[in-house]
Structure 1
């Protein structure tokens, strides 16, 4: 009986036009935006916590920062020449530099989420697997790079990374394998650190979508929960 009454009411609502439908649609959009904003805030904070600690990058194969391509090509030869330890130390130092820089991202990321519009949020909800990365990259890549680069540079100086890198590139260059001027280690590490951060935010956000109940948030359960 109730179902019949409901079905009879639908044509009436449609005939009355958008005026009756608009409040419900606005509420739905607002809820979706609020849910996505909360999910990204949690995802960003979690990603910073996961990466900004010892082995955050080095111990995670998904975001572990490799040698620059040119140097990576020469690494095999250098290892054969007895430079295995130096190559390993270089990779470790690069990832430690990224781990030292990532905590500085927290404020920038959260500010980007707070400034998110309803359209931004709905675009992410409806978007593909890269929608989260695209949102953050458009708003934070440049300021994150500017903030990370001096931190990475200081970290490399602290662990003598620049000296190691110059030594390795010099040896590879002497063998004709790479030109030292073709690589900038600090910028390589910074770019990979930013990329890894975006990747982890996306991973954490997908976890929230998959298990909103596990977050303990009624809003996230309402937006992402399944009946």
Structure 2
């Protein structure tokens, strides 16, 4: 019962915007008007996480899911920023743009593979995990997924990204860009592990989108699309 009390009160704090609302909710709970079990609370979190991750993955795996989203667009690697500047300065901006677009296309192509990994992690959530998430920050669920899935995502994404880079001609565009740059007299040659870079940026982008969806579900009643979510998060 003590754990259930913590879950319920944490949900109240997240969903109420004033002291009066919190007191009103507490009164209803004590009177039995809005009772639910800790299992229901945990299942609601699983539904919220699954809903958020599926939507987040769906958004980024579409064409322009990364490229046209300023929050997660994959730019030139930091060590190659000077490459971009120099090539644009000598009129090769189109070539640079093609390379950037291809990096983002590779991420979009691979992103759909993340859904099953996330859902497996969500289904493994314990009631205590759920309590900790509810009591945590607004992105606690996202951070939980980040801790529990990043290693597996990296292992699975890396070969897919490598294949995607070749499929969307990113390897060619990048090779052309770097080949052109490295021919400029007196410049320091730049070498980048493109697969590792795009893999990490693609995963980072996924978690940005999932965090956005988590916040939406916590704060926006219209985003709670199941009866259990409505019951627990009201």
**Alignment-derived partner of residue 19 in structure 2:** none
1:88 Cα deviation from its structure 2 partner: 0.3
Deviations 1:144-194 (A, max 9, x none): 11211112111211232213223323443455555433x211111110111
Q: Is the 8 A contact 1:38 1:220 kept in 2?
A: yes
Measure, in 1, the Cα distance between the counterparts of 2:95 and 2:218. Answer: 42
1:212 Cα deviation from its structure 2 partner: 3.1
**Larger C-alpha radius of gyration, 1 or 2?**
1
Give the unaligned 5+ runs of structure 1.
Answer: 1-20
**Alignment-derived partner of residue 101 in structure 2:** 92
Measure, in 2, the Cα distance between the counterparts of 1:82 and 1:129. Answer: 45
Q: Is the 8 A contact 2:44 2:229 kept in 1?
A: yes
Measure, in 2, the Cα distance between the counterparts of 1:136 and 1:36. Answer: 12
| Higher helix content, 1 or 2 | 1
Q: Which deviates further from its counterpart, 35-44 or 213-222?
A: 213-222
Q: Is the 8 A contact 2:53 2:210 kept in 1?
A: yes
1:221 Cα deviation from its structure 2 partner: 1.6
- Of 202, 212, 229, 1:193 maps to 202
- Of 50, 70, 78, 1:69 maps to 78
Please give the root-mean-square deviation of Cα atoms over the aligned residues, in Å.
2.1
Check 1:61–1:177 CA distance in 2 against 1; reply closer, same or farther (3 A cut). Answer: farther
Count of matched residue positions in the alignment of Structure 1 and Structure 2: 204
Q: Is the 8 A contact 2:161 2:195 kept in 1?
A: yes
1:136-215 correspondence to structure 2 within 5 Å: 136-175=145-184, 177-181=187-191, 183-215=192-224
Give the unaligned 5+ runs of structure 2.
Answer: 8-35
**Alignment-derived partner of residue 51 in structure 1:** 60
**Alignment-derived partner of residue 79 in structure 1:** 88
